[in-house]
Amino acid sequence: MAMRVTKKVNNNVALALDEAGNEVVIFGRGVGFPPMPYLLRDERQIKRVFRDVSARVAEAAATISDGVLVVSSDIVDLARVELGEMTRLSPNLVFTLADHLQFAVERVGESITIENPLAADVAYVYPREYGLGKTALGMVKGRVGVELPPTEACSVALHIVSGEAGEGQGDMSLVVRSALDIEKITGIVERELGVTLARDSYAYVRFVAHLRFLLGRLLKDESVASPNRALFDEAARDFPQTYACARQINDYLTEAHGLSCTSEELLYLMMHIGRLSALH
């Protein structure tokens, strides 16, 4: 069945309409070369199809090499497998990551190295994504032939975190701020509970995910509120250490950002802290 190609991005990337009339981004040798629009009758020419991608984001591919775009797609596919079904990644991630990798490759060619001061924090707070970032460097070297500096593992990890659902639709400044805050909050939990948290445990991964959503809501003034005050009061009374830990976290958020959790948010926070406490 023929696909209608509507707009060229570059010679090998174009916007098209699938059989249901949905706009997609297609990648394949020469798909963007003929005059637009046209019917692509031999769909074997299409190597990859990207769905639900913003046309504006896809147009960034105009300056991205084929090799970088393919390896970016492979990195995102690996991230989907490694992070599991519960983690949804933005369809734009392939192109935003590819755009970053293209500049990183060009910087290597110009012997320019930019250190990332967040590397230690990102490895600490997002160990799964940082591990993917390190793997990605090997993939770029193997498929593009360029050895990126180790600091790029942090940058790839931040792009993956940014692409995870609920992370502000690729708001990198929010991701960076969250990484720093989560490190501080993790330190508060470890100090208050007297434990060292296992960063690779399922409970910690869920805790970090909850903190990211919490910080996003508070920064956007979208706090959760409900008539669970009685349940919160009961939990605070029955679990004083967990409550004290949650209050310390709230005090930090107030001091650092002028933010404050509702009783409902504190209750959810206590539930996650309780799960972490139960592991030790």
- Domain coordinates of the chain in residue numbers? 3-54, 66-163, 172-278
- Topology (CATH level 3) of domain 3-54: Transcription Regulation, Sacy; Chain A (2.30.24)
DSSP 258: S
| Ordered DSSP codes for 38-85 | EEE--GGG--EEEES--HHHHGGGGGS-HHHHHHHHHHHHHHHHHH-T
- pLDDT tens digits for 137-165? 999 999 999 999 999 999 999 899 888 85
The fourth-level CATH superfamily of domain 172-278 is PRD domain (1.10.1790.10)
Q: Tell me the average pLDDT across 105-125.
A: 81
> What number is the average pLDDT over the span 92-97?
93
Residues 6+ apart with CB under 8 A from 96: 57, 60, 90, 159, 162, 163, 170
pLDDT for residue 224:
61
Do 3-54 and 66-163 share a fold?
no
Model pLDDT for residues 226-267, shown as the tens digit of each residue: 566 788 888 899 999 999 999 999 999 999 999 999 888 898
Sign of CA dihedral 213, 219, 225, 229: positive
Contact between 188 and 180 (Cβ < 8 Å): no
Architecture of domain 66-163: Orthogonal Bundle (1.10)
List the beta strands (DSSP E) in 191-240. Answer: none
Question: CA 26 → CA 16, 33, 183, 264, distances in Å?
Answer: 7, 13, 40, 45
**Span 172-212, pLDDT tens digits:** 667 777 888 999 999 999 999 998 998 878 788 778 878 88
Tokens of 248: 């310390």
Question: What angle (nearest 5°) sits at the alpha carbon of residue 278, between those of residues 275 and 280?
Answer: 125
Q: Is the N-terminal amide bond of 149 cis, ω within 30° of 0?
A: no
Top-confidence residue, 247 or 85: 247
Q: What is the pLDDT of residue 177?
A: 78
Sign of the dihedral through C-alpha 88, 120, 177, 158: negative
